[in-house]
Structure 1
Amino acid sequence: MIGVCIKYFHENYGGMLQAFATVKMLESRGIDYELIRYKKKLTITEKIRSVPRLLNGVLLNDKYEAFLKRQGMKKHPEFAKNDAVRMKAFEKFKNKAFTKLSPEFCGYKALCEGAKRYDAVVTGSDQLWSPAGLPTNFYNLMFVPNEIRKISYASSFGVGQIPWYQKKRTADFLKRLDYISMRENRGSEIVKELTGLDVPVILDPVFNFNKEQWEKLIPIKKEMDEPYIFAYFLGANPEYRKQVRKLAKSTGLKIVALRHMDQYVEDDESFGDYAPYDVAPDRFLNLLRGAEYVCTDSFHGTCFSIINEKRFMIFNRYANTSATSKNSRIDSLCQNLGVSDRRFSGEISDIQKTIDYKKVYCNLAKLKQKTDQYINAAFMG
């Protein structure tokens, strides 16, 4: 049996659908697995050791966004009420999609002992190797005994640089792994720089299934009776909302928007002709499927736009000069699949240009073959 170390419980559409795709990939190959449940129970020593983690720039940025969301809920009770509706939808999907769970390992010692029940343990994808999470020694599989196979599946650092003070520890956990694959080109370069190892760049788990296969996993359901633009922004940039409004005006289409995703956004109060909150990951996918155009700053919003052959525009969530930028995953996706021209460069009308999906799918097929070869070697070998 394989232990699966992924963030299946996080209320993020892309993250949860990526976790869903991961377990469905295992099931499609007849691989017995369970999702590892770990509850931290820090000792005094462990708490002291974790103090430097609080100074990590990526973690601080994530904590700040979470703080802004909590503050928004306090100031805007209606937002808090709507967000609770969204969380309930996530919970319902999660309980249905993720049922093969391990016993709950309470404390790191119990986790290390529990790992002995597996023939192999896999971790990935979705930024689980972010510098912010290194001290937990969970997603880097440091708790797994040496004799048990350790697999990284389309792993992601989520950043372009590893902080200098984490380079040795990062190299140490990488060298323990039996199989390493990365989701981003930059991630593969980082592994090479730290360990000297050449590791493959493979596809995000959501690409394990094509459009027709996803329709079997999550059946199509029409959500709107009229044509619309689907706007899915995790960031708070008001200029991006302005551009979507401009597109709506020029095309005469309505806007379906998912508001206040990672924080309260003042501009979202008036953004969108239709802004549902009762949206689980399956409904999210159907809203995207039914759109004439998709505008997003989300990595997985982009992935599903490609899978469903939509006309889309990618907006940078982070400034390229930001120390906490996570744009490298979008960079790799665009470069590897040949869709760099879908990145917003100032003219929203470019979204109406036709995408040569035959060429995109040719690039995708090459990467899919490489991905399948890696999966077969790591999981079935």
Structure 2
Amino acid sequence: MNLKIITMHAMHNPGSIFQAYAIQQYLSRGNNTELIDYRPSYFYTESNRIKFLIKKLLYFRVYSSRSRKFDGFIKDNFILTQKVTAYDELKNQHFKADAFVVGSDQLWNSDFECGKDDAYVLAFTDKPKISYATSVGKQSMNAFEIERLSNTLKDFVAVSVREERTACQLEKLINKKVKWVCDPVFLLEKDDYIKFVRKTDIMSEPYVMVYLSEASDMLTEIVGRFKEKGYRIILFGGFTKRCDCDYHIKDAGPIEFLSYIYNAEYVISSSFHATAFCHIFHKKFATLLPKSNSERIMSLLRLSGLEDRAVRDSFNSDDMVKEVDWKSVDSRIRNHITESKIFLDMSVEEAGRKVSE
């Protein structure tokens, strides 16, 4: 099968990078795959063009260094089509493909520009369509999302999403089975990621990694508890300090993202993919739930039985540092991963039958 995959593969965000890497790697086992190199302008403006330009000027060297790392990873590890920068241009492409796959990430979340982009409901093709682990990202869909998805997903060969609640909601809308599946990063094995891991001098002493958590009294208190225990604090990403830290890594790329998680004693984040890689690498962690779009994180934590690692309005420092029964966690998520692989494999087979009809 010749498969074309469309997802948010080129944003300078490590979660987006590795979910795209994982789905292409998995589907390439037995298929010819290419990621559609779709890069609309909103990928790089962070939802506010003026603020983006100001930050880029203020932190030009950091932006340049980070961009080189992300672009280098994409060049070395992805198989891409010709670059496309606008939806109208995408519609006029004549892709040589038997079927198209969209997913995962928050491609259907209309709080972001991608959730309003017809590219991510595959409106540009009449070939067989598959959705894999595409995310709405929140507990309930708004009227725009309901109307749009109910009108566009009915002609998909197979539909799957990353949140259990979204699967139930969509099934009622489109009158078709919607499968709850794992994020693509779980389709690969730990060793598939360890090959990217590096170690630096900064990692020579025990440290706690802080990633994608907004400044707050809660974060300050949590970080303070770890500093009292003698841990170094490494703040990862962002351009301004959000907590007291020993090192602030501003220009990190995808490889650094994996490396700092893998070598950490503990990870504090508000990130779905940081939480996911803590599961994969068996790292103790706390996830400070974001005010919005936290359903994707909670869906994973409910599955793994680690809901107590979600921090809302308060936290128990004893719970945060207790050991995790990773054997039990792996057992809980293994069946879900297996079912997800079966779904994706069968969806591709069904798309193949549609092609031959």
1:331 matched to 2:312: no
| Secondary structure at the counterpart of residue 91 of structure 2 | helix
- What secondary structure does 1:23 align onto? helix
Which of the numbers 268, 272, 279 marks the counterpart of 1:295?
Answer: 268
TM-score under structure 1 length normalisation: 0.82
Aligned counterparts of 1:135 and 1:165: Cα–Cα separation in 2: 9
Contact kept in structure 2, 1:150 and 1:178, CA below 8 Å:
yes
* Distance in 2 (alpha carbons) for counterparts of 1:210 and 1:18: 13
The reply to whether residue 63 of structure 1 matches residue 42 of structure 2 is no
| Distance of 1:272 and 1:107 partners within structure 2 | 41
Residue 115 of structure 1: how far off its partner (Å): 4.9
Deviation at 1:72, TM superposition (A): 4.8
* Residue 33 of structure 2 is aligned to residue 33 of structure 1: yes
In structure 2, relative to structure 1, the CA distance for the partners of 1:81 and 1:214 (3 Å cut) is: closer
Query: Does 2:153 match 1:174?
Result: yes
- % of aligned pairs identical? 27
Match of 1:123 among 96, 102, 120: 102
Amino acid at match of 1:92: G
Pick one of 86, 100, 113 that aligns with 2:66.
86
Aligned with residue 315 of structure 1, among 288, 310, 313? 288
Instruction: Answer yes or no: is 1:346 the counterpart of 2:326.
Output: no
Does the 8 Å CA contact 2:207/2:234 hold for their aligned counterparts?
Answer: yes
Q: Which residue of 2 aligns with 1:2?
A: 3
Query: Which amino acid is 1:242 matched to?
Result: T
| Gaps in structure 1 of 5+ consecutive residues | 42-53, 319-324
Are the structure 2 counterparts of residues 106 and 296 from structure 1 closer, same or farther at C-alpha, using a change threshold of 3 Å?
A: closer
Which of 160, 166, 178 does residue 187 from structure 1 map onto?
Answer: 166
Distance in structure 2 (CA, Å) of the matches to 1:182 and 1:97: 25
Counterpart of 2:26 in structure 1: which amino acid? M
3-state SS of paired residue (1:37): coil
Is the Cα–Cα contact under 8 Å of residues 116 and 144 in structure 1 kept in the other structure? no
Aligned 8 A contact 1:38 1:105 in 2: yes
Whether 1:137 aligns to 2:118 is yes
Q: Match for 1:365 among 321, 330, 334?
A: 334
Q: CA deviation at 1:338?
A: 0.9
- Counterpart code for 1:144: T
Answer yes or no: is the 8 Å Cα contact 1:231–1:244 preserved in 2. Answer: no
Deviations 1:180-230, CA, capped at 9 Å, x for gaps: 1111112212212322323111110111123233224x2454551111111
- State the SS of the aligned residue for 2:4: strand
1:239-288: CA deviation from partner (whole Å, max 9, x where unpaired) = 2430343132231010111142xxx54x43x6321122342211210111
Q: 1:19 to 1:160 in 2, by over 3 A?
A: same
Distance in 2, Cα, partners of 1:39 & 1:219: 27
Distance 1:278 1:110, change over 3 A: closer
State the match for 1:256 in structure 2: 234
Asked if the contact 1:89/1:279 (under 8 Å) is kept, the reply is: yes
Paired letter, 1:96: D
Q: TM-score, normalised by structure 2?
A: 0.87
Aligned pair count?
Answer: 343
Change in Cα spacing, 1:308 to 1:93, as seen in structure 2 (3 Å) is: same
Unaligned runs of 5+ in 2: 351-357
2:99 maps to amino acid: A
Shift of 1:351: 1.8
Name the CA shift for 1:164/1:92 in 2 (closer, same or farther; >3 Å): same
> How far is 1:107 from its partner?
5.4
| 1:282 counterpart = 2:266 | no
Q: CA deviation at 1:9?
A: 0.4
1:245 aligns with 2:223: yes
Contact 1:294/1:312 (8 A) holds in 2: yes
Q: CA RMSD in A?
A: 2.6
SS in 1 for 2:82: strand
